[in-house]
Structure 1
Amino acid sequence: MDSGIERSGYYSIDEAIEDGIAPVPLSLDRTLDIQRTLDVIDHLFSCEATWHKGHTLAQTVFTCIYLMKMERISSHAVLNSFCRILRATCNSVISVVSTARTHEEEDLFTMSFGLPLNGEGDDKCLSVLNSVEETISRQLRACKSQALSKKKTLEEFESLQDNPELEEGYCRALLCRLRFRKHFHHVVTCMRKPQGRGLDLARKHVTSCLAELSSMLKSQEFLKSQSDITSQKGDESCTTASGCRPIGFDVSLNSRLLSPAPPRAVQILAWSDAIRYFEKLLHDLDIICALSLDPVLENVLHFIAQFQKSVPDLVPRAFLQNMYSVSYLCYSLLFPTYINNDAKIH
């Protein structure tokens, strides 16, 4: 036995659900429900960054029981839309890394055996998210409108929670997270298009992602002020903006249920570290998107040498590899036609 293994006491997902570890709604108090939803979203954000660093999906993103049992949250519009697009993005990233073969045989990144990665309706995840985003956007506009009285706001728009004074803050916190999720999904999708057809659009979504990350950081003060101080963890280790421990996660359950999952739980990146990871990831992807698709061979080699000095992580390396091995540039690099010393690849 591994002395470092963490055991939760649950032998199945259904057993954990019956014990109330992942309630739906997250609370009967609508304000607490939104707080807990934001904590789940933030912890998943930290889990995703940890996964990108080389750990398994089973020990990071899919420690979330809501993701393992998506049918349970169909009535929870915000959490359902977020989890659907997160799952679709994870699936796309796995495809990119697997195609690029930038990972080693022993790497755990692409291991997804037994995980519910392909869900019915995930192809419509963007439309589902857009609908939720528009609803929250209308509520935010109502909160900011000086022309609407408080009574009219509550009557004509379904609020996120029950405290009118907190409505705007929660709307802003949710919107920036949902929008980041949407734009990051677009970045991955656009960069996967053949022959670089989506690179210019991907750069626009990268810019939007960075703006939403900034908004997420700004929301931290508000979320901390509304959280239960007694449940907060230290800033250096907390995986949520509020500092609270999220509900709906079990770090060791998949180790019992899925054979590829190592027995020991991994250390999830702190939320602040996850923010920094995604900022660097997006800057690296932006540099890749700015590459010319009709390059001089010597310039390509120079770029690769310079790019690796920044120590890019697995995901940007995979996208770069795909640009030169999957697209038509592969043929150009392997069989260049030199006209002179400065000839371009044809």
Structure 2
Amino acid sequence: AEMSFYQGNNLLQTVFTCLYLHDLTRLQNPYLIVYCYLTLKLCSFIRSMVQSTDIVDEEDFNGIIYSFRLPDGIKEDDVIRMSILAENELTQKISKAKGKQLDDVTPLQDDPEKEIEYCEALLARLQLKRGLLNAQVQFEKNTKKSLATAKKATMFAKLQCKRILETHESFAAAGVATPDGIFDPTVTRRILFHAPPNTISLPDFAEAMQQVDSILKDMLSFVVWPEYETIPALLENLVKFSDTEPSIVSRSRLYRMLLSNNKIW
């Protein structure tokens, strides 16, 4: 659903089809809370970035949030620190479980034998979101030092993509079923009379991961742009972003890098 929002579909028909994201104060699982904050903060950041660039028509990217809320008042660094704390706890759980110190481990699912696989899969997902958010924050600073940090964060996120693909089956095999009704494509129509009347087709897991990987590849290509010494070399790498259906996120990031404060980079 999140990847569909980055392709231009509105929040009501994508991200907010997940009931967890409607009110984070009602959630009890600390890792789920952190993941939801990362998701909403990343959506908020991307939404602001795309809207500030004005590179797409309104019908191509709908950033209207209607009566829902994004955590605009929470700083990105605070969400990143929140994620790091949760990741450290998961790492400790994994370490204790591998050391057979099961009495010190509060299981996150029903089967103790699958606790390690489950925690590793959850850890990879938190780290992917944190890497994506941190990279975007560093890109926004647009300095030589921040671009180096953005490269590290992007490579870190790309590594988590690989881990997620490797642990996807283990995550499902851990017996953790998605609660019924958590994803409801019609929920916004029932609570908001002005919500769009139709539902949209959302990408499946494999398609979503391909889209994430594509965004990360674009980000890795951006960090080396300051090394280009000639305009032709730079223009040669701009060609792929002139497609009729380019990545909105990548093109917006490109705009922010090349045009800052109304000045060409």
Deviation at 1:278, TM superposition (A): 0.6
Residue identity (%) = 23
1:234-253 equivalences in 2 (<5 Å): 247-253=181-187
Once the two structures are superposed, what CA deviation does each residue of 1:261-312 show, in whole Å capped at 9, x if it has no partner?
Answer: 4210111100110011111111011111210177533333333124436963
CA distance in 2, matches of 1:105, 1:154: 53
Task: Give the structure 1 partner of residue 116 of structure 2.
Answer: 168
CA distance in 2, matches of 1:265, 1:257: 15
1:157-196 equivalences in 2 (<5 Å): 157-195=105-143
1:116 aligns with 2:94: no
Q: Find 1:302's aligned residue among 236, 244, 265.
A: 236
Check whether the contact 2:13–2:199 (CA below 8 A) recurs between aligned residues.
Answer: yes
1:82 aligns with 2:35: yes
Deviation at 1:259, TM superposition (A): 6.4
Task: Give the structure 2 partner of residue 131 of structure 1.
Answer: 85
Once the two structures are superposed, what CA deviation does each residue of 1:107-162 show, in whole Å capped at 9, x if it has no partner?
Answer: 343222322113665652222222211111001011223xxxx4xx1333333234
* Structure 2 unaligned spans of 5+: none
* Structure 1 unaligned spans of 5+: 1-46, 229-241, 334-346
1:155 aligns with 2:103: yes
Deviation at 1:168, TM superposition (A): 0.8
**SS of residue paired to 2:225:** coil
The code of the aligned residue for 2:204 comes to A
CA distance in 1, matches of 2:11, 2:226: 34
CA distance in 2, matches of 1:290, 1:66: 38
Change in CA separation of 1:224 and 1:69 when aligned onto 2, cut-off 3 Å:
closer
Deviation at 1:255, TM superposition (A): 2.9
The code of the aligned residue for 1:90 comes to C
Tell me the TM-score normalized by structure 1: 0.69
Change in CA separation of 1:276 and 1:321 when aligned onto 2, cut-off 3 Å:
same
Structure number with higher helix proportion: 2
CA distance in 2, matches of 1:57, 1:294: 37
The code of the aligned residue for 2:158 comes to L
Q: Find 2:253's aligned residue among 315, 319, 324.
A: 319
1:331 aligns with 2:255: no
CA distance in 2, matches of 1:207, 1:167: 27
Task: Give the structure 2 partner of residue 5 of structure 1.
Answer: none
Task: Give the structure 1 partner of residue 98 of structure 2.
Answer: 144
**SS of residue paired to 2:263:** helix
CA distance in 2, matches of 1:310, 1:216: 31
Task: Give the structure 1 partner of residue 55 of structure 2.
Answer: 102
1:91 aligns with 2:44: yes
Change in CA separation of 1:195 and 1:122 when aligned onto 2, cut-off 3 Å:
closer
**SS of residue paired to 2:226:** coil
CA distance in 1, matches of 2:69, 2:257: 29
Task: Give the structure 2 partner of residue 273 of structure 1.
Answer: 207
Deviation at 1:216, TM superposition (A): 0.7
Check whether the contact 1:96–1:192 (CA below 8 A) recurs between aligned residues.
Answer: no
Change in CA separation of 1:158 and 1:90 when aligned onto 2, cut-off 3 Å:
same
Change in CA separation of 1:102 and 1:260 when aligned onto 2, cut-off 3 Å:
farther
CA distance in 2, matches of 1:249, 1:78: 18
CA distance in 2, matches of 1:332, 1:294: 15
CA distance in 1, matches of 2:126, 2:20: 17
Check whether the contact 2:118–2:174 (CA below 8 A) recurs between aligned residues.
Answer: no
Tell me the TM-score normalized by structure 2: 0.89
Once the two structures are superposed, what CA deviation does each residue of 1:30-50 show, in whole Å capped at 9, x if it has no partner?
Answer: xxxxxxxxxxxxxxxxx1111
Deviation at 1:203, TM superposition (A): 1.2
